[in-house]
Structure 1
Amino acid sequence: MQGADADVVRAALDSGEPLPGTGGFAGDLGDTLVRDVLGRYPLFVEGDAPSPGPLAEADWSHDPTDLEAPERFSAGHVRDADGTRSVWSLPDLSPYENRETAVAAVREAVEGRIDDVDSEGLAIAFSGGVDSALLAARLDAPLYVAGFPESHDVEAARAAADALDRDLTVVELTHDALERAVPELVAATGRTNAMAIQIALPLYLTAERVAADGFDRLAVGQGADELFGGYAKVAKAPDDPRVQADTIRGAQREVVATLPDQLERDVLALRAAGVEPVAPLLHDDVVRSALRLDDAMLVDGETRKWALRQAALGSLPETIAMRDKKAAQYGSLAARELDRLARQAGYKRRMDDHVTQYVESLAPEPPSFRRRDAR
């Protein structure tokens, strides 16, 4: 069992509690395969394994490359003698009564879970935004940022590191590094989609450097944008066609539901690079606090992640807590430069999904993942 003590998982299974105070879990309880409600740990089953019934040890794995025909095991599901079924879903929690209470609860959850992290063997993926800066302010671990020279993330990370009086290691991205890393990421994650690879590239190359420098764990700020209203499409709900919800809070729930797919990609990429991810902002306590935020606590006017930013003022200077940042694939320029490489290789923008076609051309063989969750 990865991520939590088996007894805690059994208790959550008995009670039906989806957020039992862990950072996620996945694995075998002896006769029951389980994966937590947010899919914070990857889990796969052999596609031709007999069903229903318990699986043999050789028919499931946390690493899809261990299996002949891996299928993703769905978040919030169990598999036992009765078959595979959903047992956990995110709770529908009532909003906080007022902003002061909300900020205090978010601060307690975020600071508490970060402070619980053991710094031994730890480095921090640092982009200069509020999420990673909270980690940097409260953990004694070195900071790393990846990006092309003069990229937004490198400049923002340098400014934030200076403000926090911290040293920073810059992992300078190059075209050669991207071309080498793409097939490695395809093999590790089973993804060839351009966006998935663009997102994973700076994280993977940061993790490689971290591992080479002797660290085996990497603290990341994953989950904050989804939980606290960091996306433009959430802030613009219900007027943004990318979400179906008619409220900001409803749009938050929509993007939180995408976490299992995203986290699978990120965890597999980081493990392939030689480090284990540490994501304190995805702990159940933080998730529970975020799910109690109403529209105005998530987005206040032009300010996204309002409650998290207010909570962060206890640890960070205002210039960092309130700073906007770009998504990693854009802030690092990984997306722009992968597009450039695709066009240089003859995959022009007029072609359908030209960057994905380029990624597929670099992969030595098609990924073995099936494009659906196991049921």
Structure 2
Amino acid sequence: MQGADPNAVRRAVETGDPLPGTAGFAGHVDEMLVRDVLGRYPLFVEGDDAREWPADPTWATDPNDLDEPLSFPAGHVQHECEEPQRRWSLPDPAPFERERGAVRELVDAVRDGIAATRPDEADAVAVAFSGGVDSSVVAAGFDAPLYVGGFAGSHDREAAATAADAMGAELREVAFTPEDVERAVPEVARAIGRPSAMAVQIALPLYLVAQRVREDGYDYLAVGQGADELFGGYAKVARAPEDPRVDADTVRGAQREMIATLPDQLERDVLALRAAGVEPVAPLLYDGVVETALRLPADSLVDDRGERKRAFRLAAREFVPDSIAFREKKAVQYGSLVGRELDRLARQAGFKRRMDDHVSEYIRSRVDD
């Protein structure tokens, strides 16, 4: 069983509690396959040639261990010889009435998440650090070195350097090279089972940083995953319902829509980190943090000036300087300049921009090789 004690998983199955005080779980217990409501750990079953769902599946935590892997759905339980059944759905609690109370509870929840996910071997953990508010809050909870990756002159390396200086923390920079990216493309695509441009652009910087972390002797990498989805970090959430990229007609509805994307995203990230030899630690995805995030009112997700992640930024002031708490950052594929380099490599290999999805075509060619 990944992520939680089997007894805690049994209780969650019995009670139907979707947020039972864990940081997620997936695996096999009492003749059942289970995966938590947010899909925080990957789980796969062997399909048939038609990729139909098997009644009595062979399962694995790595898709590369199976011939026809199917991702086991988050929030589901499958008893032997039965179809998967949904057991857990996210709760829909009433929002906080006062922002001050919401921020106070969020501070406590984040502290609890850090304490609950801290590995027993305290010196075996490092922190993936971009200098943004998410990774900085996580970094504040661990007495561990901070690692940032990117090309020379990249936004992430510059932001991480100023943030680490403000926090008085040790920063180790992982300088990416074109050769690093070229080598890692097929490795990452195979590890995550997705030879697509967006998936590889996001996973590849994590992979390269994690490889360095493992080389330096660390077994765990603490990450800030989940904050944008939970706390309203996306522009399309702020613009709901006008933004065509979301179906929801409210900001809180758009928040839940983004949270629903986490199983797919976390599967990608966990597989990439494991392929590099480290296990992720994600304090901001602890059940108590998720539960608190679901109670945030719309103006605590996005305020009337359009500032995103308002409540989380206010809570972050308890952990980091204001200059970091209210800092904006770029997505990792842009902040590290990996997206730019992948585009260059694709064009250099003959996959021109006029082609449909030329970077994905390049990645598929490297996997086939």
Normalized against structure 1, the TM-score is what?
0.94
Asked if structure 1 preserves the Cα contact closer than 8 Å seen for 2:112 and 2:288, the reply is: no
Partner Cα separation in structure 1 for residue 52 and residue 368 of structure 2: 31
Q: Secondary structure at the match of 1:315?
A: coil
- Give the counterpart of 1:350 among 324, 333, 354: 354
> Distance between the aligned counterparts of 1:297 and 1:51, measured in 2?
41
Q: 1:164 to 1:343 in 2, by over 3 A?
A: same
Task: Find the aligned partners of 2:66 and 2:348 in 1 and give their Cα distance.
Answer: 36
Where in structure 2 are the equivalents of 1:260-271 lying within 5 Å? 260-271=263-274
Report the Cα offset of residue 51 of structure 1.
6.9
Aligned residue number for residue 370 of structure 1: none
Query: Equivalents in 1 of 2:242, 2:353: separation in Å?
Result: 29
Quick check: 1:115–1:139 contact (8 Å CA) kept in 2?
no
- Measured in 2, the distance between the counterparts of 1:109 and 1:332 equals 30
Question: Given the alignment, which residue of 298, 305, 311 partners 1:295?
Answer: 298
For residue 106 of structure 1, what is the aligned residue in structure 2? 106
Secondary structure, in 3 states, of the residue corresponding to 1:264?
helix
Partners of 1:29 and 1:128 in 2: CA distance:
39
User: Aligned residues: percent identity?
Assistant: 62
Q: 2:43·2:71 contact (CA, 8 Å) conserved in 1?
A: yes
Counterparts of 1:291 and 1:225 in 2: how far apart (Å)?
Answer: 13
- Contact map agreement 2:206 2:273 (CA 8 A) in 1: yes
| 1:79 and 2:78 matched | yes
Q: 1:224 aligns with which of 212, 224, 227?
A: 227
Cα drift, residue 69 of structure 1: 1.3
* Matching residue of 1:326: 330
**1:222 touches 1:281 (CA, 8 Å); kept in 2?**
yes
Whichever residue aligns with residue 11 of structure 2, its letter is A
* 1:192 and 2:195 are equivalent in the alignment: yes
Displacement of 1:53 = 5.0
> What is the deviation of 1:313?
0.5
1:373 equivalent in structure 2: none
AA in 2 matched with 1:19: L
Which residue number in structure 1 is paired with residue 28 of structure 2?
A: 28
2:113·2:285 contact (CA, 8 Å) conserved in 1? no
Q: Which whole-Å deviations, capped at 9, do the CAs of 1:214-266 have from their partners, x for residues lacking one? A: 00100000000000001111111111111011111110001100000000000
Evaluate the alpha carbon distance shift between residue 50 and residue 157 of structure 1 in structure 2; reply closer, same or farther with a 3 A threshold: closer
Local SS of the residue matching 1:124: strand
Which residue in the other structure is 1:278 paired with? 281
SS of 1:246's partner is coil
Choose from 158, 162, 166 the match for 2:165: 162
CA drift at 1:86: 1.0
Higher mean C-alpha deviation, range 109-118 or range 169-178: 109-118
Q: 2:22 touches 2:286 (CA, 8 Å); kept in 1?
A: yes
CA positional deviation for 1:112: 1.9
Amino acid at match of 1:120: D
Structure 2 residue identity aligned to 1:338 = L
Q: Give the letter for the 1:33 counterpart.
A: L
How many angstroms apart in 2 are the aligned matches of 1:109 and 1:191?
34
Separation in 1, partners of 2:75, 2:35: 6
The Cα RMSD (Å) is 1.4
1:121 alignment partner in structure 2: 124
- TM-aligned CA deviation for residue 45 of structure 1: 0.5
* Aligned residue in 2 for 1:368: none
The answer (yes or no) to whether the contact 2:47–2:54 under 8 Å persists in 1 is no
Change (3 A) 1:146 1:52: closer
**Counterpart in the other structure of 1:338:** 342
2:61 matched residue in structure 1: 62
Question: Which residue number in structure 1 is paired with residue 218 of structure 2?
Answer: 215
CA contact (8 A) 2:236 2:243 kept: yes
Q: Deviations over 1:69-126 (max 9, x none)?
A: 1111000111114431111111111100110111011111012211341333000000
Report the alpha carbon displacement of residue 52 of structure 1 after superposing the two structures with TM. 6.6
Once the two structures are superposed, residues 290-318 of structure 1 have per-residue CA deviations (whole angstroms, 9 ceiling, x without a partner) of 00011100011231111111001111110
Letter in 2 for 1:164: M
Contact 1:104 1:311 in 2 (8 A): yes
Correspondence 1:228-243 to 2 at 5 A: 228-243=231-246
Q: Is the 8 A contact 2:148 2:156 kept in 1?
A: yes
The alignment partner of 1:83 has SS state of: coil
- State how far apart, in whole Å, the 1-side matches of 2:96 and 2:69 are: 42
CA distance in 1, matches of 2:262, 2:233: 14
What is the identity, as a one-letter code, of the residue corresponding to 1:110? V
CA distance in 1, matches of 2:170, 2:351: 40
Aligned-residue offset at 1:54 = 4.8
Aligned AA (2:327): R
Tell me if structure 2 keeps the 8 A contact 1:19–1:288.
yes
Whole-angstrom distance in 2 between the partners of 1:80 and 1:70? 19
**Paired amino acid for 2:88:** W
Task: Give TM-score, length-normalised by structure 2.
Answer: 0.96
Kindly tell me the number of residue pairs found equivalent between the two proteins: 362
For the pair 1:310 / 2:309, whether they are aligned, the reply is no
Q: Distance in 1 between matches of 2:36 and 2:107?
A: 24
Match of 2:140 among 124, 137, 154: 137
- Cα-to-partner distance string for 1:180-228 (whole Å, 9 max, x where unaligned): 0010011111111100100011100000000000001000000000000
